[in-house]
């Protein structure tokens, strides 16, 4: 196990400073770090642990407990395909398959150019609009496989 950490990241330092080193704000700090990098790079967790003076194991346990956090690099855009019951019966699996085919990735994976990460969710509470694809925070309802390519191409 390497013990030497990489140089501190100034953006993480600024985030930590904005919370005045308050260890009770760990989740919010990790959210801000993830918003900055799209995931939680290893060295940022070390930096957070050192700055807040809390064990690295605790930082990791929080970072791995919440599904919203990722320790792996993610794409600039996060695609969520709803596979809840209502979307499922309206063809959500075909939408997911089409996205997989277009991007050549499976759920949980990221494209080689780090443009997209594909994930699935179970019901986002908008069943009447199903099947639904959410990219970042934008909802696209009544999706059809033949709309997938155009939707994906609308992202830089």
Applying CB under 6 A, the residues found at the interface with ligand FES are: 82, 84-87, 123-127, 130, 132
| CB 152, min distance to ligand FES, A | 19
| CB 129, min distance to ligand FES, A | 7
Helix 145-153 × helix 92-103 angle, to 10°: 40
CB 62 within 8 A of CB 26: yes
Q: How far apart are CA 87 and CA 129, in angstroms?
A: 8
| CB 90, min distance to ligand FES, A | 8
Beta carbon nearer to ligand FES, 77 or 96: 96
Beta carbon nearer to ligand FES, 8 or 123: 123
Beta carbon nearer to ligand FES, 52 or 143: 143
| CB 114, min distance to ligand FES, A | 27
Which run of H or of E encompasses 82? strand 77-82
Beta carbon nearer to ligand FES, 14 or 89: 89
Nearest to 135 by CA among 95, 80, 84: 80
CB 108 within 8 A of CB 71: no
């Amino acid at each position: 196990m390497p013990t030497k950490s990489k140089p501190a990241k100034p953006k993480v330092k600024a985030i930590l400073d904005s919370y005045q080193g308050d260890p009770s704000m760990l989740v919010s700090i990790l959210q801000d770090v993830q918003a900055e990098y799209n995931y939680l790079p290893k060295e940022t967790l070390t930096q957070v642990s050192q700055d807040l003076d809390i064990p690295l194991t605790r930082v990791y346990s929080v970072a791995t407990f919440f599904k919203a956090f990722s320790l792996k690099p993610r794409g600039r855009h996060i695609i969520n395909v709803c596979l809840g019951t209502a979307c499922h019966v309206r063809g959500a699996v075909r939408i997911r398959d089409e996205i997989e085919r277009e991007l050549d990735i499976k759920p949980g994976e990221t494209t080689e150019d780090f443009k997209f990460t594909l994930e699935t969710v179970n019901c986002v509470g908008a069943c009447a609009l199903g099947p639904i694809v959410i990219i970042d925070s934008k909802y696209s309802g009544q999706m059809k496989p033949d709309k997938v390519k155009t939707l994906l191409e609308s992202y830089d």
